[in-house]
Amino acid sequence: MLAILTVCEESVQPVSQQFFNITFPGAALGDTAVRNTAEELLMSLGQMEGPSPPHLVYSRHAGSMFQDLQLSLDTWIFNSPQRSIFQTLVEKLVSYDGAGPYLGIISSLMVHLTGTDKDPRVKLSVYTSLSLLLDTKGCDELDTFCVTVVREAGQHSDKSSLNGNIDARAGYRQHDRALDLIINEFLTGGILCGFQDVILPGLVWQAGRTAETVRTSAVACLWAALRDPVPPSMVRVTDMCLPLVLGLVEDSARKTRLVACWVLRVLVQLMRREGRLNADLIHQVFPAVKTVVALYTPLPADYDVQCSSALVDALYTTMLVHLDDPDPIFQGVMLDALKDLSHIHPRLLWEKLNNSLGNFRNTKDCSELLEHIKSLRDTSAT
């Protein structure tokens, strides 16, 4: 192939699309050596096509390849070469800021690939690409989380493909500003319905280990999409997300429960900001507090309270804020939860509450909580 390019040089233009279509699968399907050789050939093709940066070869020729991929969509399974080619092509476009013109067809393909009758492992590959794309909004917690999800998913899927996703992240971080524009277009444009059709079905519970990983990846995508600044059109999906996210708060996977709690917090903040947080919504959401209690009761054997004191401090701070909530029912729920969690670090909770007692309107519940902590300390002292 290199010999063909060397001989043709600038006259390669008439057959450049065919050359790309033949060479790119090597970058998606081959081992490391083949992949590197294919990428070098594509960069050489880009240089011979004109004075523009050689990496634009991907955006120049992606359209024809997407059209070819569409023809075989109904036959894709996880091991289909087309699935790996699609995933790699999307990631190359994103890493080189060239995805913008193809967002419509990418969204359309993703919707089809995440349909209810599709292989769960195919869905997982779509969510992996989407979560890494959305990750460029810049959330350190999600950086670590998404890589962990991909690695763990690799235990049940094609490891070489998933490892390639992790390697590609290094390129993403270099293009944050341009990618923010792409992501905003993806979330706020006419593709929002497609976005809903991709992520929301993945939040629905289904049996099986792969389905569990799909839920984890889907809720990670949702969390990334809801990171600040939240596109205005995403606010409209909060009503659809809420019941699904509430179900995930009690999911069997720890990471799914964790990210569902993050998403739930953002949804509540969005509803409050939009003036749509009412008594009915509060009554739907507050049972999720019980999940926090279940996480810490009893403490795992390897949980070091002293090493985790900063996290426990943040937990108590958040819960004490909500203890002063205007809704009496929610106050009662939070009081019960604080009592249940006071065993983690009684002295810390006592000090935090006692030092800020004058700031609370709900003095009755504060006094009751202090009495409860005192009884715990008295019991442990005897």
> What letter represents residue 261's amino acid?
C
Whether residue 338 has pLDDT greater than 90: yes
pLDDT score for 233: 61
Give the 3-state secondary structure of residue 192: helix
Whether residue 155 has pLDDT greater than 70: no
Question: Roughly how many angstroms between the first and final C-alpha of the chain, as a whole number?
Answer: 82
* Residue with more model confidence, 181 or 206: 206
How is residue 239 written in tokens?
């009503």
Distance between CA atoms of 142 and 248, rounded to whole angstroms?
17
Residue with tokens 């979560």: 131
Whether residue 181 has pLDDT greater than 60: no
Whether residue 339 has pLDDT greater than 90: yes
How is residue 188 written in tokens?
């706020």
Q: Which of the four pLDDT bands, split at 50, 70 and 90, describes residue 122?
A: confident
Distance of CA 294 to the CA centre of its chain: 24
pLDDT score for 140: 39
> What letter represents residue 36's amino acid?
N
pLDDT score for 146: 39
How is residue 58 written in tokens?
């991907």
* Residue with more model confidence, 142 or 17: 17
Whether residue 126 has pLDDT greater than 90: no
pLDDT in tens, 24-73: 988 888 788 888 888 888 888 887 877 777 788 888 888 889 999 988 88
* Residue with more model confidence, 202 or 9: 202
Whether residue 144 has pLDDT greater than 50: no
Residue with tokens 């009081």: 335
Whether residue 374 has pLDDT greater than 60: yes
* Domain residue ranges in the chain: 87-277, 301-382
Q: For 284-313, give one letter per residue: b (16+ CB within 10 A) or e.
A: ebbebbebbeeebeeeeeeeeeeeeeeebe
pTM of the model: 0.60
* Residue with more model confidence, 186 or 105: 105
DSSP state at residue 26: H
Give the 3-state secondary structure of residue 324: coil
* Residue with more model confidence, 114 or 138: 114
* Residue with more model confidence, 265 or 165: 265
Q: Which of the four pLDDT bands, split at 50, 70 and 90, describes residue 179?
A: very low
pLDDT in tens, 74-103: 888 888 999 999 989 988 887 887 777 887
Bond prior to 229 in cis (omega within 30° of 0): yes
Residues in contact with 342: Cβ distance below 8 Å, sequence separation at least 6, in sequence order: 349, 369, 372, 373, 376
Q: Which of the four pLDDT bands, split at 50, 70 and 90, describes residue 109?
A: confident
DSSP state at residue 230: P
Comparing C-alpha atoms, which of 359, 360, 326, 365 is closest to residue 342? 365
DSSP state at residue 83: H
